Structure 1
């Protein structure tokens, strides 16, 4: 597979969550997913434990079951009002962005079963001690992000989702994930439509930068 001619900065600033632009009709070769995961395995992990596991779901029935669980969680999320920009009622510009995200999120929830590949990064839940949450999740999230970057460089779109975790136990049972293995995310993966992505609007650095003290 040809890797896109992106500079490191372009790759880091244009890897966006892809929902509406996922190509739901084009199969994704498993070998391409494996290539992305080989890169993900180069990410750091606490004490170099490498206690990660990756569940790649291509079976249509299992994707449909996961999609149904996701849709239930999405409906609960919608009912909370967070997707409609309620959290940013005092910031109209950011609220408008949140509403657009809500629209694309609804599309993903409606079409999750059609996404050709679902990737679930997982980790041994007790591998770094019950109280060491930063170390635990810090040992899987960089690898998951590396997977998403590798996918972007190969013309694949991804989105970071966690709403399915409301039904984590049921999904673990569905996929045969053993007890003690925690799911970190659900990453729908497909080729994307269109040609380009651009950096997203972000708050100014000086609003969040603190040097030497808060």
Structure 2
């Protein structure tokens, strides 16, 4: 069975039910599912078929934990630059900031991390369709 056969959710359903979720499910992601997701990403259209990207897939729990700690530290450093020293300083009604704080707190708990890197300055345009394909394939797998 091919990746295309396993991604059976309709495009419309995937597009219109996809959400920006900052709460991460701890469920492990099987290797076959990750292969489907990554295959969808690398088949994205890109200018001149140059594929000016690298994908870094992090599955090792110790490395994910370290990445989570770094992200948490960087997130709070940026907030401190804005005068927010802790959760109590986040203004009432700033739900998106609170959600982002929760993501910073839980980032290292993600079962898999995928980092998409542009190989050159102009390569960022090519990674956008790849990222969208990745997200749609993950959605089709219920992630």
Same-fold call, TM cutoff 0.5: yes
Q: Which runs of no fewer than 5 residues in structure 1 stay unpaired?
A: 86-94, 126-132, 157-214
Q: Distance in 2 between matches of 1:139 and 1:12?
A: 20
Q: CA deviation at 1:81?
A: 6.2
Per-residue CA shift, 1:157-193, capped at 9, x if unaligned? xxxxxxxxxxxxxxxxxxxxxxxxxxxxxxxxxxxxx
User: Which secondary structure does the structure 1 equivalent of 2:43 belong to?
Assistant: coil
Measured in 1, the distance between the counterparts of 2:49 and 2:142 equals 30
In the TM superposition, 1:1-214 aligns within 5 A as 3=7, 5=9, 7-20=10-23, 22-24=24-26, 26-79=27-80, 80=82, 96=93, 99-125=94-120, 133=121, 135-156=122-143
Q: In structure 2, what is the Cα distance between the partners aligned to 1:27 and 1:110?
A: 19
Distance in 1 between residues matched to 2:8 and 2:97, nearest whole Å: 29
Note if contact 1:36-1:150 (Cα within 8 Å) is conserved in structure 2: yes
Structure 2: tracts of 5 or more residues without a match:
85-89
Which is richer in helix?
A: 2
Deviation, structure 1 residue 9: 3.0
Cα distance, 1:116 vs structure 2:
0.8
CA distance in 1, matches of 2:35, 2:59: 13
SS at structure 2 position matched to 1:138: helix
CA RMSD of aligned residues (A): 2.4
Aligned-partner Cα distance in 1 for 2:48–2:83: 40
TM-superposed deviation, 1:63:
0.8
Give the TM-score normalised by structure 1.
0.55
Aligned mates of 1:64, 1:70 — CA distance in 2: 10
State the aligned residue count.
133
Which of 1 and 2 has higher RCO (CA within 8 Å, sep 6+)? 2
Q: What secondary structure sits across from 2:126 in the alignment?
A: coil
Change (3 A) 1:3 1:139: closer
Q: TM-score, normalised by structure 2?
A: 0.80
